[in-house]
Structure 1
Amino acid sequence: MRKLLTVYLGNYCRSPFAQVALTRRGGKGVAVRSAGLIGKWQDQPANPSVINAARRLGLDLTSHRAQQITLEMLDWADEVLAMDAAVLDTLQAISGERSAHKLALYLRSRDVPDPMGQGDDAFNECAVLIEAGTALHIDRNVP
């Protein structure tokens, strides 16, 4: 089983959405977790706007609770997917040689735009982009 970890700043919006999107696409062949670099939203639900965006795409984020990344999570993952370059840089600094070979940008060559502080359209567009990005990590839908 492949193990993926999605990471963003607070584990409040993009990283939890990526977690559920990758889980749906990967089915039983993948285990996906998400985490944030900071604990600002520790144990809090996902942003209401991203919960609504997920619902529109047939995904459920209502059980999500934010968590801060740990070295154990980095060790657990086969791949660690950062939502943007700043997070990737921080992950590289945190992990050093330990996990450097596993780190990558979620969209490979560009950042996933941050919808925070914007309207529902920005969250919906972000969700569609993240869902499309699942194809970069999982080749096909698996029941």
Structure 2
Amino acid sequence: MIHVLFVCTGNTCRSPMAEVILRNKSGENIEVKSAGIFAGNGSPASANTAQVLQENGMECQHSSSILTQDHIEWATYIFTMTSHHKQAILHSFPEAHDKVFTLKEYVDGNGDVSDPFGGPVEIYRETYAELEPLIDQVLSKLKR
């Protein structure tokens, strides 16, 4: 079983969106969670995140959580939305060095996934359009 953890800042926009996309595409051999570097525990996904996922036929039952040692130990792979998130994880959890990547780095690219936080729903749609092909590429690599 492969355990994938997506990490962003507040765990209400990008990482839950990535979590739901991968969960809907992955099948039985991959478990998916998400967390945030500076998240509060128990917040739902943002309304625009839930709306965009619903527009794409996906349900979003999400409760935010702050990144913990348990997440690090559980994960086979940790995919961050930005290089800042990756560096923050490596600073707090240096033992995760071999399994933490930015999402774009893992799929042979570079750069960060744009943050839609606080923007109109159109920005969230753009983030979804950015995330979906990245998740497809991750899934392809994980199935090899």
> TM-score, structure 2 length as denominator?
0.91
Indicate the percent of aligned positions where both proteins have the same amino acid: 24
Shift of 1:39: 3.1
Aligned pairs (5 A) from 1:120-135: 120-135=121-136
Matches within 5 A, 1:1-143: 1-40=1-40, 42-61=41-60, 63-96=61-94, 98-108=95-105, 109-139=110-140
3-state secondary structure, aligned to 1:118: coil
In 2, Cα distance between equivalents of 1:37 and 1:69: 6
- Cα deviation per residue 1:52-92 (whole Å; 9 max; x = unaligned)? 0111111111x200001111111110100001111111011
Q: TM-score, with normalisation over the residues of structure 1?
A: 0.91
Offset at residue 116 of structure 1 (A): 1.4
Give the count of matched residue pairs.
Answer: 138
Q: Residue type of the partner of 2:46?
A: N
Instruction: Measure, in 2, the Cα distance between the counterparts of 1:139 and 1:115.
Output: 26
- Return 5+ residue gaps in structure 1 as ranges: none
RMSD: 1.4
What stretches of structure 1 move > 4 A for 4+ residues in a row?
A: none
Distance 2:129 2:59 in 1: 14
Separation (CA, whole Å) in 1 of partners of 2:104 and 2:54: 22
| d(CA) in 2 for partners of 1:131, 1:77 | 21
Measured after TM superposition, the shift of residue 118 of structure 1 is: 1.7
CA contact (8 A) 1:11 1:34 kept: yes
Secondary structure (helix, strand or coil) at the match of 1:58 reads coil
Work out whether residues 107 and 136 of structure 1, in 8 Å CA contact, stay in contact via their aligned partners in 2: no
Structure 2: 5+ residue stretches without partners: none
Cα deviation, residue 131, structure 1: 1.4
